[in-house]
Amino acid sequence: MITRPTLVINEDICRANIRGMAKKANFSRVIFRPHFKTHQSLQIADWFRDQGVDRITVSSAEMAIKFAKAGWNDITIAFPANIRETDTYNKLAEKLELNLLTDSIEATEALVSNLNTDTGIFIEIDTGYGRSGVHYANEEMIRKIVHIIDHAPKLSFKGFLTHSGNTYYATNTGQIEDIYNKTIAELRSLKDKYINTHPAIIISVGDTPSCSLIDDLSGANEIRPGNFVYYDLMQYYLGSCKLSDISVSVACPVTGIYPDRNEIVIYGGAVHLSKEFLEQDGRFFGLVVNYTDDGRSSPLPDTRLISISQEHGIIRTSPEFLKTVKHGDLLGILPVHSCLTANLLKDQMIIV
């Protein structure tokens, strides 16, 4: 019995999302190294194994340890290397194939000084997102980093890696395609400069919008999408998925009904859903569904999660729907950003 906000995962939809991306990677002849930060679930990880996945991406050393204990032995930590965790990196690299990221001379030199176990190194490239990474045009910096890696006995240069997070700010699918094409062109230009001396290097890309919308991903050598396993409203409004592809919802108990303002209060707030919102005909923090015997309904018309505080959520709805709701009912919320929601509820989830 669900008594508090709970992440509800639809296994059929989730598995279909995994199959679809694995099929696209196979068609494109690229390495499929999915990011596990979205689901962080050992059970869902096994669903990837069912599709032949044998290498993964994570966002922290802690996450790498978790999946290493479950038998995953080829892991990229897709976050700038944290020099304070080099002891942990060494222990991981003793047991598995480990890849780390660097984007500066200082960080690379620190890795050389502190890593005593064979470790792969990707140079993270900024192709327009502006978060982390060496700017793709900073050829001198890139050359120096490659030189340092080449002269380090325990490090091996794996190639160039990027996350085109700027696709999340696109306003149409054409912009996402343009960002992908620009990213691939810039990374291929870099790879061409080093391929003769480093024939095994690869290009690794990773955002869900691009990987969902581009039919042929063969311009890259490796893809690392993560959000696609669940999808969410952000991806839906970007055009990356259909509403029926969203495999998660948050079941929230009804704790208050207010006919005078056509609103419902649910037990489900920022500590469960995050404070991510969308602006589509007004601001909202999620769409509302009913649970049915065979899954869930489509989003209810004229019904949105319009406000959240720490534990409270306020749903505004129609007078007609309000009359059907009772205290203690469960309403489902389709999340704006499933990565954050799943992390908040990773210890409170069910699979149906």
Using the Cα atoms of residue 259, residue 315, residue 293 and residue 296 in order, give the sign of their dihedral: positive
Superfamily of domain 33-230: Alanine racemase (3.20.20.10)
35: left (phi over 0), alpha (psi -120 to 50) or beta: beta
Looking at the chain, the whole-number percentage of residues with pLDDT higher than 70 is 100
Burial 62-100 (b: 16+ CB within 10 A, else e): ebbebbbeeebeebbbbbbbeeebbebbbebbeeeebbb
CA 51 to chain centre: 19
Amino acid at 84: R
> In this predicted model, what pLDDT tens digit does every residue of 133-162 receive, in sequence order?
999 999 999 999 999 999 999 999 999 999
CA 301 to chain centre: 29
- Do 133 and 124 contact (CB within 8 A), yes or no? yes
| Architecture of the structural domain at 247-351 | Beta Barrel (2.40)
Cα three-residue angle 286-292-294, rounded to 5 degrees: 115
- Mean pLDDT throughout 20-38? 98
pLDDT of residue 172: 93
Give me the residue spans of the domains in the chain.
Answer: 33-230, 247-351
**207 CB-near residues (< 8 Å, 6+ apart):** 163, 164, 165, 167, 168, 225
Q: How far apart (Å, rounded) are the C-alpha atoms in residues 310 and 305?
A: 14
Amino acid at 306: I
pLDDT of residue 62: 98
Q: Is pLDDT of 290 > 90?
A: yes
